[in-house]
Amino acid sequence: MPHVNLPGSVSLYYEMHTPTCKPDPTKPSLLLLAPSWGNVLQLKDYVAAFKDEYSVCTIEPRSHGRSINPVTATFDFFVAASDIAFAMEALQLPPSHIFGAGTQNFQALLKLAILFPSQVLSLSLVGLSSLYALPRHIQAFQEVGNAWHSPEDEAIWAECVEAIGQFVLTEVEGREEAWDRFLPSVVRLYNPYKARNVWMSTQPNQRVSKITPELLGEIEHPLLLIQVRTHLAPHKLRAPDRHDRTQGEADKCFPAEDVAAMAKHLTRSRDLRFHIEAGGPHLLALTHARSVIPRMRDFLAAHAAELPPVAPLDARRALERAARIASDPKIALRNPGKPDSFSLLSADELATGQVKLDAALRQEQQCRLHLPMCFEKQDWEADADAQRRWTWSTRAEYARRHEAARPVSVASYGSGIAVNVHQSETTSMPSSPMTGTCASFQAATLDGGDDDDVPPPLPSKIRV
């Protein structure tokens, strides 16, 4: 499978949707990032909508999809922004229109525009977050994050999965298909047996962004911002009470008014378009693609005439900008050739993050919960569709089926069976049937071992 290798043993999965499998210099360049907690398969509607008029490339950031990377405590969204800049240089992408969905992409791409402005033609950002302070529901986010990678038992894990679904997709009723389509890929990549991925996807969201109104005022790029009016916040680790009518009204993860307060500081943007999508979830780019794509098409068309050549990456200058943002001149002395040099964590943030990362790594070794859905094949793997896989709507039947298949000779220890798990992943099949898409198909083994014969743990009790 095609990966672009970056300094620091980072290998980002990408797909080039052009006839030559290279950037097409006759068309504007459009870079689509996999949605937060997702993968590029979920961008198929966007690829289909834009590949005829644009030179489309899709990328999975660190700890997303098929990308391979070490997990270090230095990671923040400035590093994520630098990853994109370095990947664009390696792939010989010219300055590009860039699309990102979800809070992780929102922060990373704003920081890309701040650190590497010459790499960006415009930003289309869908599903935003607050910037100037910690999220209003930081305590709830921390609670869910802790239970996500270190649940006490399978029941807590079930509540956590539901809370995640509520955060990114809001209510189940009316969105069953979206829950069934999105959550399985989330639990396969972010779970107690891959706790490092959970840490990496949650910890940066629990910090203040370091983006100030003054920095936003320096962004001159055209910006399309699409935000939802309300979210249902995962404020308690319990199944939602259907009789509690306050849920969804008072509990908002990233209220539209917070985002509007941020947007008013984008005073130098050459074309600022801020749209509120009523009734959508945080990942409305996935659930409301039919609404988002036309707005995005109109926005891009207004700026598609420019076809700049590939711009050399001025990493040294970007590192100097990073040093000024952090008010730390020592940062400018770091190696500008490594994305991780752009980390702007304070000493306290780094120390706190290291403690939590160490705990996540221990969790991976100590976890004995029975969560077979976490070990099913990924969508891009051979014969994945042949499995009767877990979905949210079929979770009860799934639990009964796996309980019935449990060997009677297996001893139970309290609330679970002690099973040693070796993680491996086979990527021997194409990610999607794409016309004119380059892909090389070879095995790629992630951290955790190379034994493909170890079965997933069978449940002694699964309440999901």
Domains of the chain: 3-150+160-365 (3.40.50.1820)
Q: What is the pLDDT of residue 443?
A: 30
Q: What is the pLDDT of residue 411?
A: 32
Q: What is the pLDDT of residue 425?
A: 38
Q: What is the pLDDT of residue 444?
A: 32
Q: Using CA atoms, how far apart are residues 307 and 298, in angstroms rounded to an integer?
A: 18
Q: What is the pLDDT of residue 406?
A: 61
Divide the 464 residues of the chain into consecutive groups of 10 and give the mean pLDDT of each group: 94 98 97 97 98 98 96 96 98 98 95 98 93 74 85 91 88 85 95 95 86 96 88 39 34 67 92 89 92 98 94 96 97 98 96 95 93 93 86 91 62 31 36 38 33 36 37
Q: What is the pLDDT of residue 230?
A: 53
Q: Residue 273 pairs with which residues in a beta bridge?
A: 224
Predicted TM-score (pTM) of this structure? 0.84
Q: What is the pLDDT of residue 301?
A: 98
Residue 439 near residue 390 (C-beta atoms within 8 A): no
